[in-house]
Amino acid sequence: MLCLTAPGQGSQKAGMLAPWLELPGASARLDEWSASSGLDLERLGTTATLQEITDTAVTQPLVVASALLGTAELRRRGQVPADTIVAGHSIGEVAALAIAGVVSEADALRLASVRGAAMSRACADRPTGMIAVLGGVEADVLLALENAGLEPANRNGAGQIVAAGPLETCDALEQNPPSRARLRRLDVAGAFHTRHMGSAVERFRALADT
């Protein structure tokens, strides 16, 4: 049995879509998805700078487009059996919905565009960030997050909790890290999966309900 997992934000890199454009049908798909998202995905995925595509409003549609292009190539090769399991992390969940046939690819790009833009506006309300906490004793890690004023936004597996909150609280955690743990700042624009994204929820829900 095959499991396809679609990544979330943070997997982006400059020129990420360039290799896919060499494959049959990829350019036509990107044209359709660009119309759905209101973004020039081909340019953003090939010649745009890393700084430009780090904007959440741009990153999320690009990450979804990348996952869908990869899946399209696997299907062209006949490598996606009917009983394939599909899952996604964060914005990857939207890609997974399309891969599983729950929504169309065009609608997935619409959802990603609205979600990314709404979360970008939420990020602008107050500077926030995320830190991966690797290792350490879970109880000690959670106490350190609480003391710093951070939320445990993601549990990405045993030994990794992602903390999120205002930048000053991220600084506080770095100054007083939990024992036996390593910290790594994530290349994201804000404290995703926390109350700091609350203003984006209604915008996304309104479109999802349609």
Pairing of strands 160-166, 181-185: unpaired
Determine which one of 11, 36, 37, 90 is catalytic: 90
At a CB cut-off of 8 Å and minimum separation 6, what does 104 contact?
98
CA dist 121 and 155 (Å) reads: 25
Residue 89 known to be catalytic: no
Strands (E), the chain: 3-6, 85-88, 128-135, 151-155, 160-166, 181-185
Residue 36 known to be catalytic: no
CA atoms in the 13 A half-sphere facing the CB of 3: 4
CA dist 20 and 89 (Å) reads: 21
Cβ-based burial of 23 (10 A; exposed 0-12, middle 13-18, buried ≥19): middle
- Catalytic positions, please? 90, 193
